[in-house]
Amino acid sequence: MTVRGILSKKITYVLFVSACLVLLGYFVSHTSSSKNDQINLSFSKDSSFDETKLVNESDAIVVGNISEMKDKITKKISSLTKEGKSVEVQVPYKVYDFTVLEDLKKNTGTPKTIQVVVPDVNVDGSAIDFKKNEKYALFLYKFDNFSSNAYAIIDFEEGILESDGKDGFKSKSKDSATMNLEQIKQFVHKYQKQ
């Protein structure tokens, strides 16, 4: 066989294998989504918070300390597929005991000790890991799936203000300014509907 014949066979073989891979990729991408529905989970209460919505949709806005991580558990939750189909999925959670030092939202009746429940997964590329005895300001909603005093973070980017180790708090948002406790109180008062 000549060099030209060998090259022709190799080129034909490469083209054939390439065509098979393209067809296989097309088949897998179009059949796997119908067999394995993709589930988009949002662990925040809503994904589009402005200041007014952040304050008013929060069932509690509190300043306090993490006492300890109480538990790691897995719970079934309902979610929707891209097609709008309701499904149940197992999600791992961490449950923290949180001592409320100050309730910044008027008339919420938040207990002095609450459980703060966060997913034990990476959210937007980072996991939520509260540090014991650290001070936080949190925007929370009631999370009755766990207990009567369980709360979850309303928005992971803006709903967690971490202590800067001095008198200030800062959210995880890139453009966030540091605020002291009085500024947080003014922020809540400004946006809270009376």
Residues sharing a CB contact under 8 Å with residue 107, sequence separation 6 or more, in sequence order: none
**What architecture is domain 51-191?**
Beta Barrel (2.40)
Residue 33 pLDDT: 38
Give the per-residue pLDDT at 94: 92
pLDDT band at 145, cuts 50/70/90? confident
pLDDT tens track for 71-84: 888 888 777 778 88
Of residues 65 and 91, more confidently modeled: 65
Using DSSP's 3-state secondary structure scheme, residue 87 falls into strand
pLDDT above 90 covers a percentage of the chain that reads 23
CB atoms within 10 A of CB 91: 16
Within the chain, what is the greatest distance between any pair of CA atoms? 90
The pTM of this model reads: 0.70
Q: pLDDT higher for 45 or 94?
A: 94
Per-residue confidence (pLDDT) for residue 48, from 0 to 100? 57
